[in-house]
């Protein structure tokens, strides 16, 4: 069997897959009809029964100016695309008009003058100042030089120690606040102003040579995240087809704080699991059949071309139902009241035009057509029977609106149609 990328979700509108499971055999992937797989052309292929995508929006007009054409498309999604009703009808085209015809720009008139940007012309001079006042504050550097001076005495006396001035504050011990720690800064002084004499002995300085304080207005240090352990793998995410088992880990060892880096890598990991069970395939309604003949509901009474109500039926199939899937919801058949007017002579009156057809073909020399609408006159038929409204006249009638002086149809070419490749 062929292998390829398998996806747990297929978007019927865009035709794209997501929620990748991994590399699987195509048959195994498509045990679940809601899945999709990558085809040989790189496009996603639906595992479910054939289904038309919605018509795309109409494209932009293929001309910027004047008449051109625009198109819309659809695609039959599924494992057997030829089973879509009228499966070759994938493109429609209609005329359009481009609205971006060239218009040359031109200047508007000048606005009024603005106010002047200043009321006069001025010049400036700068005065310089000398840093000789005030005294240093808040950690500023002390002035150079001693705070006192001494001279030699004739008598020999003890010289007691005296502190120098405090030094400037040191840098903080950290540029941010580490977890569980407090940053600080310090300043120093020396008992040398003067130092205590040794003979005769002088008294030492009173106090400590160092002073510390906490650093203020600092932010906490960033803490980078680290992964915890992987969890055990979960049970399989599905009960049929192929799925995934999941293992996770958390970025909490520690968790990132204060703008720290998140944990690198993936938070979860997966591995493919197999159930070896085919998923249910729900039924999908086929198109309604054509309406059957309009006949008298009881017996073989002839109602053709008569004011006698008949009945006709149509039905549809619930296709692709398998593996205990859900049956289609809704009715399998329905009926309606009708008059049988097949091959009946019916007079009519001209009543405007029917809508234009789409451009055909969708490349090369293309045109569209429309017909005058001949409204049949059913005034000799009852509009209701047994309290029920009857407005269906079934069959190919011989409708006579007489010849119109301007003809009963017209056509026009579709312009700027792309060439056939």
Give the tens place of pLDDT for each residue, 173-224.
998 988 888 899 999 999 999 999 998 999 999 999 999 999 988 889 999 9
Instruction: Quote the pLDDT of residue 209.
Output: 94
Residue 125 pLDDT greater than 50, yes or no: no
Confidence (pLDDT) at 118: 46
The arithmetic mean of pLDDT across residues 139-150, rounded, is 62
Query: Using CA atoms, how far apart are residues 401 and 421, in angstroms rounded to an integer?
Result: 43
Residue 385 confidence (pLDDT)? 81
Q: Which is higher by pLDDT, 174 or 145?
A: 174
Residue 155 has pLDDT above 70, yes or no: no
CA angle, residues 377, 379, 382, in degrees to nearest 5: 130
The count of C-alpha atoms lying within 13 angstroms of the C-alpha of 345, restricted to the half-sphere facing its C-beta, is 1
Instruction: Kindly list the strands in the beta sheet with 393-394, ordered across the sheet, starting from the edge strand earlier in the chain.
Output: 310-315, 333-340, 393-394
Give the 3-state secondary structure of residue 240. Answer: coil
> Does pLDDT of 136 surpass 50?
yes
Give the pLDDT score at 417.
93
Q: Which of 2-11, 132-141, 257-266 has the lowest mean pLDDT?
A: 132-141
Distance CA 273, CA 270 (A): 9
| Residue 81 DSSP symbol | G
Q: Round to whole Å and give the CA distance between 329 and 352.
A: 41
Contact 338, 310 (CB under 8 A): yes
Average pLDDT for the chain: 87
Question: Tokens standing for 3?
Answer: 């292998």
Paired residues of 4 in beta bridges: 24
Q: What is the pTM of this model?
A: 0.60
Which range (77-81, 140-144, 239-243, 383-387) has the least confidence?
Answer: 140-144
* Closest to 311 (Cα-Cα) out of 339, 278, 288, 273: 339
Residue pair 363/419 in contact (Cβ under 8 Å)? The answer is yes
pLDDT reading at 291 higher than 90: yes
Whether 87 has a pLDDT exceeding 90, the answer reads no
pLDDT tens for residues 268-286?
Answer: 999 999 999 999 999 999 9
Least confident of 71-80, 122-131, 213-222: 122-131
The band of 41, judged by pLDDT with boundaries at 50, 70 and 90, is confident
- 145 phi and psi, to 5 degrees? 105, 160
Q: Which of 311 and 124 is assigned the larger pLDDT? A: 311
**pLDDT > 90 in the chain, percent:** 61
Lowest-confidence region among 61-75, 145-159, 270-284, 354-368: 145-159
Is the pLDDT at 119 greater than 50? The verdict is no
Per-residue confidence band for 137, with pLDDT thresholds at 50, 70 and 90: low
- In terms of average pLDDT, the best of 127-131, 217-221, 332-336 is 332-336
């Amino acid at each position: 069997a062929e292998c390829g990328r398998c996806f747990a979700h297929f978007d019927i509108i865009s035709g794209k897959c997501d929620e990748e499971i991994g590399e699987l055999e195509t048959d195994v992937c498509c045990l679940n009809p809601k899945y999709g797989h990558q085809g040989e052309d790189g496009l996603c292929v639906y595992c479910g029964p054939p289904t038309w995508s919605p018509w795309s929006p109409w494209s932009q007009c293929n001309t910027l100016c004047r008449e051109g054409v625009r198109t819309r498309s659809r695609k039959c999604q599924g494992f057997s695309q030829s089973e879509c009703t009228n499966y070759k009808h994938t493109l429609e085209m209609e005329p359009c008009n481009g609205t971006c015809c060239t218009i040359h720009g031109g200047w508007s008139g000048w606005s009024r003058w603005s106010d002047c940007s200043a009321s006069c012309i001025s010049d400036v001079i700068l005065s310089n100042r000398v840093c000789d006042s005030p005294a240093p504050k808040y950690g500023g550097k002390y002035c150079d030089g001693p705070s006192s001076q001494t001279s030699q005495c004739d008598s020999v006396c003890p010289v007691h120690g005296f502190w120098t001035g405090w030094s400037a504050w040191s840098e903080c011990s950290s540029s941010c606040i580490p977890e569980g720690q407090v940053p600080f800064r310090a300043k120093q002084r020396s008992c040398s102003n003067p130092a205590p004499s040794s003979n005769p002995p002088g008294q030492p300085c009173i106090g400590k040579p160092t002073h510390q304080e906490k650093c203020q207005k600092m932010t906490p240090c960033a803490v980078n995240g680290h992964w915890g352990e992987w969890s055990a793998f979960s049970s399989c995410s599905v009960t049929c087809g192929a799925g995934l088992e999941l293992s996770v880990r958390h970025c909490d060892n520690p968790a990132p704080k204060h703008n720290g880096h998140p944990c690198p890598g993936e938070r979860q990991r997966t591995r493919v699991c197999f159930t070896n069970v085919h998923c249910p395939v729900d039924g999908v309604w086929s198109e309604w059949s054509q309406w059957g003949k309009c006949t008298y509901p009881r017996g073989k009474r002839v109602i053709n071309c008569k004011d006698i109500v008949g009945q006709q039926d149509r039905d549809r199939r619930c296709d692709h139902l398998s593996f205990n899937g859900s049956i289609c919801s809704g009715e399998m058949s329905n009926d309606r009241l009708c008059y049988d007017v097949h091959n009946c002579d019916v007079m009519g009156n001209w009543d405007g035009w029917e809508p234009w057809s789409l451009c055909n073909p969708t490349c090369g020399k293309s045109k569209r057509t429309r017909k005058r609408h001949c409204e049949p006159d059913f005034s000799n038929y009852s509009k209701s029977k047994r309290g029920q409204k009857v407005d269906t006249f079934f069959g190919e009638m011989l409708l006579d609106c007489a010849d119109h002086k301007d003809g009963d149809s017209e056509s026009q070419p579709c312009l700027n149609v792309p060439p056939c490749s």
